[in-house]
Amino acid sequence: MGGNIITIKDLTIRFKDKIVHNKISLSIQEGEIYSIVGKSGSGKSTLLRAMLMLQEFEGSINILGKEIGKADNKTKNAIRRQFGVMFQSASLFTSLTVGENIAASLKENVKLQRNIMQDIIAFKLSLVGLDNDVYNLFPSELSGGMRKKAALARALVLDPKLLFLDEPTSGLDPVSAEDFDNTIKNLSKLLNITVVMVTHDLDTFFNVSQRACILGDGKVLAEGKPFDIIYTDDKWIKQIFFGERGIKFQLWKQKQGSQS
């Protein structure tokens, strides 16, 4: 992994009188899979939106060596072109086929011959584990897992340096969620892409994340490797990882230990 590709210092986000983030700081290293977890209402998606330049903030967010809070529109647009984004709902255009959805991003940014564009789209679909048969299908004709993968292919179509995922496995059955997790890990290795992911899914958190932060009460409660940051005196972290919902994790951890 390289140095920091994103550095956040003293970030404050407020909605009128409510402070969502109170001078939080964190860093994301180039080439890693970084997860953001936290309580409901802790501002996980709000933090993601700030990095995407969709949310006003106070403090410093440095992405790809640029202070986005001080950047002009030309610089911001250049940074955005290095982003791939997949929102929780997949957000595919329902009136367009999968191929047309992915082509929309290409047409907006580059001029290519039709056959070259089709080859690029077919390659991106193969990267996420989809056959070219889905090219002419509409989103309504796909399963939930396939829609997520199609949205992922669209996010990758411009070869971004940063991939932002908002609850990527939300709404998926366990088999589809595990398949999506494996896709993310494979893409990270193959493309050396930096992944920033908001997730509630404990399996995804432990199976995919290389580093993470836990948000709560307007602060970063912990940051580091997943198996390091869960051991804390914070009541909420204890509840989520060592309460009833954490039983599966405990069993998984014991199994991993027996195999090492």
Mean pLDDT per 10-residue segment, the chain (260 residues): 89 93 96 92 92 95 96 94 86 91 84 87 93 92 91 93 93 89 94 94 90 93 90 78 63 58
Residue 96: predicted pLDDT: 94
Contact 34, 211 (CB under 8 A): yes
Residue 245: predicted pLDDT: 56
Residue 40: predicted pLDDT: 81
Measured in degrees and rounded to the nearest 5, phi and psi for residue 195 equal -115, 125
> Nearest-CA neighbor of 83 among 210, 1, 196?
196
CA distance 103 to 114: 10
Residue 115: predicted pLDDT: 87
Q: Global pTM?
A: 0.90
For residue 15, give the amino acid letter. F
